[in-house]
Amino acid sequence: MRISPVVIVGAGIIGLAHAITAREHGHDVVVFERDGRALGASVRNFGTLWPIGCVPGAERAQALFGIERWAHLSEEAGFWMGRQGSLSLAYREEAWAVLQEFRDGVDDCTLLDADAVLRRFPAANPRGLRGAIYSAAEAVVHPASTLAALADYARRRGITIHFGTPVVKVHDEAVETSDGRRVPFQHLVIAAGDEMRLLFPEALAAAHVQRCRLQMMRTVPQPAAFDMGAVFVSDLTLCHYPAFKDCPSTPLLRARLERELPHHCDWGVHVIAAQHDDRTLTLGDSHEYGLDFDPDSHEGVEQLILDALGDFVDLPDPRIASRWHGVYLKSTVGETQVVLHPRERVTMVTAMGGLGMTLSWGLAARTVEGWRS
């Protein structure tokens, strides 16, 4: 039995996750996307599904739920998903201490000394290596092709998607599109990322979020014999994700990094290296905050990323094939998920801090199940 109509604004990952989940619960669903295809943060990221970055407890459980949803949908919708796991490498003694402290609080990660790391992951830079944590939970998708496949899957499930159709106004029980249509809803989900500020700017401003720009890049395909075997991160990343913030040694590591790598810290550089099925590596990123941004890329920031990469990955072919920017919303108070209800039956939702792909399915399940209460 079909139940109340649902309108989704935004065909990025959070919007499509809500659309597919709502359809699975029997709702009629219409999605409006302002661009001709998803072009926002959902297609400008690493494609990493990242439970290792989530705080142990409810958020990590939500991330692991998301991984299983991704695995199921990769079969149903026909997109590539590499269940590679992650390798968090430590080169400073403070970073090694953080990993040991983190391992004490989780059951599904393996602490490896330097020799064990190099036996299993020869792409790791051996110079100064103290050890690593390996987690099997993490995975990688290719963002652009995955979002396209999910949109096709949604349509096959009976979801209507209107690309190139901005929603310009929200009325009490209907949305108005740029071409003058009024579409009624029982539930409205606004998952438009950075563009959410155009519909309910006061509600978004009160949520303590800010715009953040990233610099990203992708290498040329690596030689056929080169397989990293996991998504690699290192010392800088341990100070970025909330999973590590409560480790006693994290402030010590941050202080050392600020002394030794001040320019990296000023630009919010932490480096992820994720290998895709075409043998390219997606690399990044930096974090620049503000209301608007210089349209130019910063060559110096790119070099900071590449320098940090060389500290923990021995890459056969470091040539860069493409570069791009991403802009997303980030909390100023450390939240990774924001759910707002600016009006009755209206939900604004985003996941931040590089965890949108990871947390999207759990967010969608929580939203849709909440409609029954």
Domain spans, the chain: 3-45+144-207+335-370, 86-136+209-331
Alpha-helix residue ranges (DSSP H) falling in the chain: 13-24, 58-77, 93-103, 114-120, 143-156, 201-205, 235-238, 250-260, 262-266, 299-310, 356-370
Distance, in Å, from the CA atom of 343 to the CA atom of 172, rounded to the nearest integer, reads: 8
Q: What is the pLDDT of residue 4?
A: 65
The pLDDT tens digits for 85-129 are 999 999 999 999 999 999 998 888 999 999 999 999 999 999 999
Q: What are phi and psi of 238, to 5 degrees?
A: -65, -20
Q: What is the pLDDT of residue 295?
A: 84
List of the chain residues with pLDDT < 50: 1-2
Which class in CATH covers the domain with range 86-136+209-331?
alpha beta
Give the β-pairing of 27-33 and 160-163: parallel
Which residues, 6+ apart, have CB-to-CB distance to 124 below 8 Å? 87, 89, 117, 118, 132, 232, 312, 313, 314
Q: What is the pLDDT of residue 33?
A: 97
Distance, in Å, from the CA atom of 185 to the CA atom of 173, rounded to the nearest integer, reads: 6
Identity of the amino acid at 210: Q
Specify whether domain 3-45+144-207+335-370 bears CATH 3.90.550.10.
Answer: no
Q: Bridge partners of 86?
A: 135, 231
